[in-house]
Structures are given as C-alpha cells and as structure tokens.
Chain A
Amino acid sequence: MSIYNLPIISQEEAGRRTHKLVLRAPELAGACAPGQFVHVLCGTYHDPLLRRPISVHNADVKEGTITLLYEVKGRGTALLAAKRPGEYANVFGPLGQGFKLPNTCGSPILLLGGGIGSAPLYFLARRISETVGCQTSTFMLGAQNCDSMVCREEFAALGPDIRLATDDGSLGCRGFVTELFAEYLASSESSTPPLVYACGPTPMLKAVALIANKHNLPCQVSLEAKMACGVGACMSCVVRVKDGGGEKYVRCCKEGPVFDAKEVVW
C-alpha cells in the first residue's frame, strides 16, 4: 500500500453521469485484486475534504494502468471528472478485501451488478477468466434506464449470456436485477449450484442476499459505506455482521468491502 500521484492517461464519459478514468499506475495495477478499491483525492484545498473510495474497474498489468469507473454524485466526483490527461490524481491503495475467486471451474458463475456497482465486476470476470480459466456464465446488470447502463459492450465481450434490466424498461427487462436472478434460479437446469458475486445499491444487495441465502448459494457482496480514512483507523464505515450468537460492527474498508452474504446483518 502506498500513496501515489498518478498521471491521467484518459478521462471520458461512459454513460449518463458516469466517467471512466485511466491512470498510469504500474505498481497499483500489479497489486490490485478485484473488489479492492482506491482512495482518491478529488478536491484541491480543504473542500470537499475527504477522499472518495472508488472500486477498481480494471487493472492492466501489461499496460501498467488502472481504470476507475465512477458516477458523478456530488462535488468530489464532479471535480474528479473535470481532471484531464496531463493532470494527476492523488490515490492510495489498493485497499480492503476483494472477492474470493473460485478454485475450479465446476460451478456456473453469476455476476450481478446494479448501476455503478457493475464497475468492479468487469475486473472480477477478467481475473477469473485469466487466472482460474473459467468464463462467467451469466452477467445480470441492472440500471435506472438505458443511459445509465454502464459498459454493456465490455461485459458482452467477456461472456455470451448477458441479461439486462432497467427500472423504466428502456433496455432489457423492465424491473430489477433481482428479478433476473430469481428467474435464472427458477429456470436453471444446472445441477451444480452457481457462485454468486454482486455489487450495487444496498437494497439490491439485500434482495440478492435473501434469495441466495434461501437457496443456500455461496454469495459474495461488495458493500459501500460512508468512509473517511479508508484504512481501518477511524471506524466510520462500519457494517453490522453476525458474531457467534450476537452481532458486531466491522469496518467496510478493512474487513470488506466484499462480505459473505450470510455474514451480513441485513
């Protein structure tokens, strides 16, 4: 883990209020695992004050780059989106526990993304394919509408079965990604239970976790939380998890952001 001032290679719009930022980061590219995040300084002088945690959308070891795909939500991300090639982004990481990759290719692999939560799933799918050697069986991506569906062509290039849902029906099915998930389980003829990976808004992850837990499927979810330090010092970003017979708060930035869906108290 280190603090870096990374040259910006490119910055482009990748959908409605969504930007894709490519940074020259040879060291980080080699160190990042799917599901981990970096902490990005967006402001210049005190305001907005805090860094923004952004998951790694892709790490290209050969090119020595990392790619961040992020939604412009407030002043911090708006300032980041205004940065141009030739400028630098101050970043530290990689941070947190990423997704656990499958050991073998025996089970179907389902990747469920909601909105900008789809971003880290691209890195995950690539890494599973490159290191374990198996293809993602099915991508299920949800968004508010067609314009906010991120990088579907990129995902399509990684696997043939890509299922889309939008709130307004402007792309794919009208409805939620959780409905696609339930339909998949109802119609699946596979005798091997799938491995489920999900990232998106908390209500979506909760719905995914309830379905996965009901079917007793292994399911990893990547959560988000209001975060300050990003390294486990400040205890801001806690998530409630099961602890023996009780419950406790653990740090999303350190013990997460990826959790076993069975561990989280939803």
Chain B
Amino acid sequence: MVAENNRLKTEIAGISMKNPVMVASGTFGFGREYADFINIEELGAIVTKGTSLLPWPGNPPDRIAETPAGMLNAIGLQNDGVESLISEKLPWLRQFDVAVIVNVVGKTLDEYAEVARRLDGVPGICGLEINISCPNVKEGCIAFGTDAGMTAAVVGSVKAATKLPVIPKLSPNVTDIAAMAHVCEDSGADAVSLINTLMGTSIDAETRTFRLANITGGLSGPAIKPVALRMVWQAAGAVSIPVIGMGGISCAQDAVEFMLAGASAVQVGTANFINPNAGPKIARGIDDYLARHNFEHVKDIVGAVKSNNL
C-alpha cells in the first residue's frame, strides 16, 4: 500500500505528503467528482480548481478541442468563489487524509491577496498555489506570470497575506523560464510549480471556424511533455526552492523523468480525464522504479539525471 510507504514520503515547503504525486488544478475539481472512482487518500496532494474572490462565470462553449496527443482548453476559470470553497468544498475534503493545496486566481493584485487572506487559518489547507499563468482570462493570471515585475508583486502581496506556503504556478509562455523562477524565489515563494498550459489554437478547415469560442486556449497532455521537461530542468537549475513539475505526465516513467530533471514532486493533470486512477497508479509506479534501481528514498532521484559526457 503506497499510502504507508516511507520511501515515497515527500515534504515540500513544509507540506507533508504520502507521496510526490499531486493532481493538477482544474483537472480534479475539488476532489469530490473523483472520490466515487478512486481512493483520493492515495494521492500526495489535491490542488483545487482555481478559486477567485467572487464567482467567475467562465468562457462560452466550445471550451475544449482535442489535438494530436493533447487538448486545448479555454474554460476561463469558472468557479464558485472563495466563500463557497470555505463553506462547502473544504469541509467535505477535510474528512479525507490527503493534503489540500488551494489554487488562487485573481484579476488584480488585491484580489489575489484577499483570497489568500480569507483562506489564512481555514482548517484543511496545506498551501496556496498562485495561478499567474492561466492563458484563458482577459485580466490577471497570465498578465502577471509573463511580466517579471508583476510576478514579484503578486508573490510578495500573497506572501504578506498568508502564513501558508506560497507556490506560484509558472507560465511556459515566456522567453526565459529560469528567470521567472528566480524572480519567484527572490519574492519569497516557498516553491514553484510548472508548467501551466501552452497557448495555442485550433481551426476546423471544413467550416473555416476556430474550434474554441475563446479562439485561443491552453495546450495540455502528452504533446507538451518534452517542453515541460526542459523547462522544469531549467527552472530547477536556477533556484534552490523546490520545483513541482508537470506537463503531459501520464505514467510513472514520465513522473520519474520530471524528478530526475529536478522536480521534488509532480502533478498529474490531463491524464486524470483518461484514467481517473492515474495519480495513485503513478505513485505505485514510482515506488517500483525506486525498488528496481535500489533507491532508498524518492528524494534520491530528484535532479539525479546524469550530465552528458561531451
């Protein structure tokens, strides 16, 4: 039983997890939707759907388009707001023995800080992931994550509003991911997670229309894995805070690759849609890998990729 396995126990920025496999924001709701299918206590952590100060309606449909080995989404962060999280979703989640990280979104600096403030002291939350990278809303989010000065400002103001660990989620839609990770570290971030989706679009040639009502959306799934792996490696090399890696992880081998590149933990996202059991299965697969290669603990593989002999 992976849940009782000391070899997989992971701590990131003070957040204790049974294993390093988390489920990514926006792909797992608030846990409830998947609790009928799987034992959510076998996950390292659940990162909730992005939560804003007030409810957000989201974008008009169609909101997704399938692409080769991937999908585009333009959900637009539809959510019921932070009060509904506190009064309905978190009390339900608290009955489970699993770490919960709340993903925070905002249109302004004040909104990010206010959501963080309202969540401070609420039982059942281990940390805040700050979404400065959603490509599908007109204000906030990616506007913060693609500008170093604004990234610093939002990380700083959230840090000032909470005692919880703060984990900015980085956008891949930047020129220098290492620099953005570095800015987060300098601004007081306790860890960084990356990557969010890559901005893209899809056109139906037969109807000569865009497939997404929002025109652009965020690309996820196996198709983005090589890009994500490269960025995680670059970010991990640039900072001393932990890096949480994600982007197209769908099996244990993918997860191990991210950890070898320097990720202390991983998030599984789009793969949940195909196999709701992907997270627990990947955790067990990492354990098999450790056994097969005689590693005593999962932390021993973090950053353990060998350099090429030139």
A contact residues vs B (CB 8 Å cutoff): 1-3, 41, 46-51, 92, 225-240, 248-249, 254
Contact = CB atoms under 8 A, between A and B. Distances in A.
Given A47-B68, A48-B66, A228-B71, A234 B273 contact: yes
B65 interface: yes
Given A49-B221, A234-B26, A238-B58, A226 B65 contact: yes
A249 B78 contact: yes
B61 A233 contact: no
A51 B57 CA distance: 26
Given A46-B222, A236-B63, A228 B78 contact: no
Given A46-B250, A49-B221, A92-B276, A1 B36 contact: yes
B28 A233 contact: yes
Chain B binding surface, main DSSP class: loop
Interface residues of B, number: 36
Given A1-B37, A231-B37, A49 B71 contact: yes
Most buried by B among A2, A3, A46, A230: A46
Nearest to A254: B33
13 contacts: A3-B37, A46-B221, A47-B69, A49-B71, A92-B37, A228-B71, A228-B270, A231-B36, A233-B28, A234-B27, A234-B75, A236-B73, A238-B61
B274 A50 contact: yes
A220 B241 CA distance: 54
Contact of A228 (B58, B60, B64, B250): B64
Contacts of B29: 232-234
Nearest to A47: B69
Nearest to B26: A234
B276 A225 contact: no
Contacts of B276: 3, 92, 231
Contacts of A238: 58, 61, 63, 78
B57 A226 contact: no
